[in-house]
């Protein structure tokens, strides 16, 4: 009787293990991995703008198939500006109606573009003689650069806002805030805008 009980327990254990393995194989699919990637921002609690590396690690820990791993690797191999479109194509090919991470990558790409443009706009390398110009000419120089070089909504919208600002101090504060909002920590042009020509030219 004891031997039969042992055999029964062993058989049940093997059966349960087989069910667990089968269940794991059933859920380990490429569509499931794609769903994990597409919903990563919402389900992880992280945001692409602040926690890109954490979201990537979160996705990697939950992928269940080699194809899912290759999907993530291929996505990361693409330039940031191309990732949203590439992921959208993969999602559509798999029959997904939506993939929220497409929008997350679009927003991240736009943020990086805005940061790059504001870094240029804030640099004295872009405006080497700005400190020698009068108030009106400084504003004109900044405005012309935006009109010629800026492509992002964040930077192009600064043109009219800077013109409407009441004083050079207001313009400097506005530019500084715009830079800080996209992660540009220092804005040398904002430091120059409110400074008088005489003081700016002093050694």
pLDDT tens figures, 64-117: 999 999 999 999 999 999 999 999 999 999 999 999 999 999 999 999 999 999
Report d(CA 89, CA 93) in Å as an integer. Answer: 6
Residue 128 lies in a domain: yes
Query: Quick one: 32 and 90 in the same domain?
Result: yes
Phi, psi of 129 (to 5 degrees): -110, 15
Position 6 confidence tier, pLDDT thresholds 50, 70, 90 = very low
Domain termination site, one of 111, 140, 165? 111
Query: Quick one: 135 and 156 in the same domain?
Result: yes
Q: How far is CA 43 from the centre of its chain?
A: 17
Judge whether residue 4 has pLDDT over 90: no
Query: Quick one: 152 and 174 in the same domain?
Result: yes
Residue 22 lies in a domain: no
Report d(CA 8, CA 14) in Å as an integer. Answer: 10
Judge whether residue 126 has pLDDT over 70: yes
Residue 1 lies in a domain: no
Residue 97 lies in a domain: yes
Judge whether residue 60 has pLDDT over 60: yes
- Write down the pLDDT at residue 198: 56
- Write down the pLDDT at residue 7: 44
- Write down the pLDDT at residue 196: 82
To the nearest 10°, the Cα dihedral for 190, 193, 195, 196?
170
Segment 9-45, tens digit of pLDDT: 444 444 444 444 444 444 679 999 999 999 999 999 9
Domain termination site, one of 111, 133, 168? 111
**Residue whose C-alpha is closest to residue 135's, from 166, 104, 108:** 166
- Do 64 and 89 contact (CB within 8 A), yes or no? no
Residue 81 lies in a domain: yes
Query: Quick one: 131 and 73 in the same domain?
Result: no
Domain termination site, one of 86, 111, 136? 111
- Write down the pLDDT at residue 25: 45
Residue 5 lies in a domain: no
Position 1 confidence tier, pLDDT thresholds 50, 70, 90 = low
Query: Quick one: 37 and 105 in the same domain?
Result: yes
Query: Quick one: 174 and 194 in the same domain?
Result: yes
Note down the domain range covering 172: 122-201
Q: How far is CA 29 from the centre of its chain?
A: 27
Residue 20 lies in a domain: no
Segment 158-200, tens digit of pLDDT: 999 999 998 999 999 999 999 999 989 999 999 999 998 754 4
Number of folded domains that form the chain: 2
Query: Quick one: 106 and 34 in the same domain?
Result: yes
Query: Quick one: 80 and 132 in the same domain?
Result: no
Residues contacting residue 27 through CB under 8 Å, at least 6 positions apart: 64
pTM for this one? 0.72
User: In terms of residues, how long is the chain?
Assistant: 203
Report d(CA 153, CA 150) in Å as an integer. Answer: 8
- Write down the pLDDT at residue 21: 43
- Write down the pLDDT at residue 27: 61
Report d(CA 101, CA 35) in Å as an integer. Answer: 10
Query: Quick one: 128 and 154 in the same domain?
Result: yes
Query: Quick one: 88 and 155 in the same domain?
Result: no
Residue 61 lies in a domain: yes
């Amino acid at each position: 009787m004891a031997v039969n009980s042992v055999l029964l327990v062993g058989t049940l254990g093997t059966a349960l293990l087989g069910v667990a393995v089968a269940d794991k194989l059933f859920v380990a699919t490429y569509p499931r991995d794609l769903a994990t990637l597409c919903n990563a921002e919402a389900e992880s609690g992280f945001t692409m703008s602040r926690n890109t590396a954490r979201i990537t690690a979160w996705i990697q820990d939950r992928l269940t198939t080699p194809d899912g791993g290759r999907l993530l690797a291929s996505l990361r191999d693409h330039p940031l500006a191309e990732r949203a479109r590439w992921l959208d194509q993969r999602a559509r090919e798999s029959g997904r109606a939506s993939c929220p991470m497409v929008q997350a990558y679009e927003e991240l790409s736009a943020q990086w573009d805005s940061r790059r443009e504001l870094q240029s706009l804030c640099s004295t390398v872009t405006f080497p003689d700005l400190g020698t110009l009068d108030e009106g000419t400084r504003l004109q120089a900044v405005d012309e650069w935006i009109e010629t070089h800026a492509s992002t909504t964040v930077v192009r919208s600064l043109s009219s806002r800077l013109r409407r600002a009441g004083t050079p101090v207001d313009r400097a504060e506005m530019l500084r805030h715009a830079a800080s909002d996209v992660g540009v920590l220092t804005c040398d042009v904002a430091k120059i805008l409110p400074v008088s020509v005489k003081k700016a030219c002093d050694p």
